[in-house]
Amino acid sequence: MAPDRAVAAQARPEQEFFCFRVGDLRLGVPSENVLEVLRAGLLTPLPRTPSFIMGVTGHRGEVLPVVDLLRFLSKGEARIGPRTRLFVGITGSYVAGVVADTVLGLRRIPVSEILPPPLGGDAAAEHLLGVVHGSGNQDAINLLNFSKLLQTARQRAVAR
Amino acid sequence: MNDEHVQEQEVVDILFFDIGHSLYGTDASQVLRIDRSLPEDITLPGLGLPLRGHRAIVFDTPEGEGHLKVDAVHAVRSIPLNSLRRMPPTAGAAPYAVGVYLEEARAVLLIDLVETARTQGTQGRH
């Protein structure tokens, strides 16, 4: 079976995404940008940070800034509850915890099914790799360019 | 240099205090004394507003004494340096938030008192 699968993958290249839901959004991040998923624990708010930085938390002996993607993308505001998860996202030397209401899991998405971000979309569209549609509009997943997103987040933070 | 001396070098004295419901820490060597607060003492919205703020942490600055209004002052504890972390660059926090003390999963914000006075633009009382 494995060789067949390899041949099929070559014929129809796929990319793996870590998919999750936050607020009303279903989002995906390239799996190479995700280190692990953990429960949202104690958050320490920071003074004068951008609103999308919810604070910091300690994790494995390091300090992790926690990012609210809803605020970053101007789509509302995330809320931390007992079932809230953080995924640890990384790009280069930048590491951050990102709030997720529900983890949908890892999905291998055929590259041919990834549609370009909508033209003339809102500011969030500039941080999208594309969109993949499911059986209905409700099932669409917005695929994030996480590297660009985290770099923009840092630029916005230090520019203040 | 014996082990005891090495251990002595690897800790820093941190004074822990509350503003509102938040716990903060600061380098105890910056602190001159704890005093009763006055209305004009430093309060920074970024640190939260004091509930009662009856106390002030008094510290030295190049311009004279500074007074930060606080709710409660806890003990000075000797903290291993390896429990302290710099602020992550992605956070972009205020300049007076210089780092974090990690107490297991809890992150206690470490405050540079002199920077609070610079941020406020006043020492708190004259």
The interface pTM score, or ipTM, of the predicted complex is: 0.77
Mean pLDDT across A132-159: 85
Q: CB A93: neighbour CB atoms within 10 A?
A: 7
Please answer yes or no on whether B90 and A49 come within 8 Å at the CB atom. Answer: no
Q: What is the structure's pLDDT at A124?
A: 78
Assigned domain for A5 exists: no
pLDDT in tens, A121-140: 677 788 999 999 876 666 89
Residue A42 in contact with partner chain B when CB distance is under 8 A:
yes
Q: Is residue A144 assigned to a domain?
A: yes
- On the question of pLDDT at A32 being above 70, the answer is yes
Across the A:B interface, residue pairs with CB atoms under 8 Å apart total 88
- A26: in domain: yes
Q: Is A39 on the interface with B (CB under 8 A)?
A: no
Report DSSP state, residue A156. Answer: H
Nearest CB to B93; choose among A46, A94, A159? A46
What is the Cα–Cα distance from B78 to B73, expressed in whole angstroms?
15
The residue that leads in pLDDT, A153 or B108, is: B108
Domain-wise residue ranges, chain B = 3-120
Our CA angle for B84, B92, A153, nearest 5°, is: 125
Model pLDDT, residue A4: 62
> In angstroms, rounded to a whole number, what is the distance separating the alpha carbons of residues A129 and A109?
13
Residue A126 lies in a domain: yes
Of the given ranges (A64-68, A69-73, B3-7), which has the lowest mean pLDDT?
A: B3-7
Is the confidence at residue A59, as pLDDT, over 60?
Answer: yes
Report the number of distinct structural domains present in chain A.
Answer: 1
Look up residue B3 and give its DSSP letter: H
* Enclosing domain of residue A38: 15-158
- For residue B119, the tally of other CB atoms under 10 A from its CB is 18
Q: What is the pLDDT of residue B43?
A: 92
- CATH number of the domain residue A115 falls in: 2.40.50.180
Alpha helices in chain B (DSSP H): 3-9, 113-120
Phi-psi region of B82 (alpha: psi -120 to 50; beta: other; left: phi over 0): alpha
Residue that wins the pLDDT comparison between B104 and A80: A80
The Cα–Cα gap between B107 and B54 comes to 25
Contacts of B93 in chain A (CB under 8 A): 46-49
In a domain, A109, yes or no: yes
